[in-house]
Chains A and B, each alone.
Chain A
Amino acid sequence: MLAYLTKRLFWSIPMLIAVSIVAFIIIQLPPGDYATAYVAELRHQGDTVDPLMEQEIRVHFGLDKPIYVQYWWWISGIVLHGDFGQSLDYNMPVSNLIWARLGLTLAISITSLLLTWLIAIPIGVYSATRQYSALDYVFTIFGFIGRGFPEFLTALVLMWLAYSWLNMDVGGLMSAGMEQQPWSFAKVIDVASHIWVPLVVLATSGTAGLIRVVRANMLDELNKPYVETAYAQGLSERRVVWGYPVRVALNPFISTIGWALPSLISGDVITAVVLNLPTTGPLLLRALKNQDMYLAGSFILILSVFTIIGTLISDILLALSDPRVRRG
Chain B
Amino acid sequence: MTDTTLINPTPIETNDAKEALYRATPRQLMWWRFRKHKLAVVSLCVLVFAYLTIAFAEFTAPYDPYEITEMATMQPPQSVHLFDEEWNFQGPFVYGLKRARDLETAAVIYTVDTDDIVPLHFFVAGSDYLFWGLIPGSFHLFGAEDPDTHIYLLGTDTLGRDLLSRLIHGGRTTLTIGILGVFFSFLIGITLGSISGYYGGRIDAAIQRLMEFIRSIPTIPLWMGLAAALPVEWDPLFVYFLITILLSLISWTHLARTVRGSFLSLRGEDYVLAARLLGASEKRIITKHMLPAMTSYIIAAVTLSVPEMILGETALSFLGLGLRPPVVSWGVLLQEAQNLRVIVQAPWLLLPGLAIVIIVLSFNFLGDGLRDAADPYGR
Determine if A19 and B213 form an interchain contact, defined as CB atoms under 8 angstroms apart: yes
Nearest first, the 8 closest Cβ-Cβ pairs linking A and B are: A288-B228, A29-B229, A148-B361, A153-B353, A26-B225, A262-B218, A148-B360, A148-B357
- Chain B residue contacts of A152, Cβ below 8 A: 315, 318, 334
Main DSSP-derived SS at the B contact region = helix
Q: Give the number of A-B contacts (CB < 8 Å).
A: 124
CB distance from A186 to the nearest CB of B (A): 23
A68 to B340, CA, bound (A): 47
Q: Which of B214-270 contact A (CB under 8 A)?
A: 216-218, 220-222, 224-229, 231
The interface residues of chain B lying within 8 Å CB-to-CB of A14 are 209
| Residue in B closest to A303 when the chains form the complex, CB atoms | B218
A-B contacts, 13 listed (Cβ < 8 Å) = A22-B217, A26-B226, A26-B229, A31-B231, A147-B364, A156-B334, A156-B350, A160-B343, A164-B344, A273-B319, A297-B225, A307-B216, A308-B216
Residue on B nearest A310 in the bound complex, by CB: B216
State how many residues of chain B have any CB contact under 8 Å with chain A.
Answer: 40
Q: Report B179-230 residues with CB < 8 Å from chain A CB.
A: 209, 212-213, 216-218, 220-222, 224-229
Are A300 and B228 in contact (CB-based, < 8 A)? no
CB–CB A147/B361 < 8 A: yes
Contact flag A270-B350 (CB < 8 Å), given A144-B364, A303-B221? no
CB within 8 Å for A266 and B221 given contacts A15-B213, A15-B216, A19-B216: yes
**Which A positions have Cβ atoms within 8 angstroms of B?**
11, 14-15, 18-19, 22, 26, 29-31, 144-145, 147-150, 152-153, 156-157, 159-160, 163-164, 169, 171, 262-263, 266-267, 269-270, 273-274, 284-285, 288-289, 291, 296-297, 299-300, 303-304, 307-308, 311
Q: Are B218 and A150 in contact (CB under 8 A)?
A: no
B residues 349-373 in Cβ contact with A at 8 Å:
350, 353, 356-358, 360-361, 364-365
Q: Are A288 and B344 in touch, CB under 8 angstroms?
A: no
Contacts of B347 in A (CB 8 A): 160
Chain A residues within an 8 Å CB radius of B364: 144, 147-148
Q: Is the interface of A mostly helix, strand, loop or mixed?
A: helix
In the docked arrangement, what's the CA distance between A139 and B312, Å? 26
**Distance of A269 Cα from B320 Cα, bound (Å):** 13
CB distance from A154 to the nearest CB of B (A): 9
Inter-subunit contact B311/A284 (CB<8 Å): no
CB distance from A314 to the nearest CB of B (A): 12
CA distance A289 to B320 in the complex (A): 8
Looking at the assembled complex, report how far the CB atom of A277 sits from the nearest CB atom of chain B, in whole angstroms: 14
Bound-complex Cα distance A210 to B27 (A): 33
Report B-chain residues with C-beta under 8 Å of the C-beta of A297.
225
- CB-CB < 8 A to A15: which residues of B? 209, 212-213, 216
Q: Which residues of B contact A285 (CB under 8 A)?
A: 224, 319, 321
Given contacts A289-B321, A311-B216, 20 further A-B contacts (CB under 8 A): A29-B225, A31-B231, A147-B361, A147-B364, A148-B357, A148-B360, A150-B353, A152-B334, A156-B338, A156-B350, A159-B343, A164-B344, A267-B220, A270-B315, A270-B319, A284-B221, A285-B224, A289-B228, A297-B225, A304-B217
Closest-by-CB residue of A relative to B361 is A148
CA distance A31 to B234 in the complex (A): 13
* A291 pairs with B311, CB closer than 8 A: no
Complex alpha-carbon distance, A19 and B315, angstroms: 24
Q: Contacts A26-B225, A29-B229, A269-B220 hold; do A274 and B360 have CB atoms under 8 A apart?
A: no
Bound CA–CA A307/B214 (angstroms) = 11
B334 to chain A, nearest CB (A): 8
The interface residues of chain B lying within 8 Å CB-to-CB of A160 are 340, 343-344, 347, 350
Task: Check B228–A291 contact: CB distance below 8 A.
Answer: yes
Q: Is the CB of A296 within 8 A of B319?
A: no
Asked if residues A153 and B357 are in contact (CB atoms below 8 Å), the reply is yes
A300 is contacted by which of B212, B225, B353 (Cβ under 8 Å)? B225
* 0/1 interface trace, chain B 50-63, chain A, CB 8 Å (1 if under): 00000000000000
Contact A300 B222 (CB under 8 A): yes
Closest beta carbon of chain B to A231's beta carbon, Å: 25
Q: How far is the CA of A26 from the CA of B224 in the complex (A)?
A: 10
> Quick check: B224 and A269 within 8 Å, CB to CB?
yes
Contacts A148-B360, A153-B357, A288-B228 given: A299-B217 contact, CB under 8 Å?
A: no
Cβ proximity bits B313-354 to A, threshold 8 Å, 1 near / 0 not: 011001111000000000000100110100110010010010
Kindly state the separation between the CA atoms of A307 and B315 in the bound complex, as whole angstroms. 21
Chain B residues near A273 (CB, 8 Å)? 319, 338
In the docked arrangement, what's the CA distance between A152 and B361, Å? 16
Indicate which residue in A147, A153, A163, A307 contacts B217 across the interface (CB closer than 8 Å).
Answer: A307
Known: A26-B226, A30-B229, A160-B347. A288 touches B220 (CB 8 A): no
CA A267 to CA B321, docked complex, whole Å: 16
Residues on A with beta carbons closer than 8 Å to the beta carbon of B217 = 19, 22, 300, 303-304, 307
Q: How far in angstroms is the closest Cβ of chain A from B312?
A: 10
Query: A313 CB to closest chain B CB, in angstroms?
Result: 13
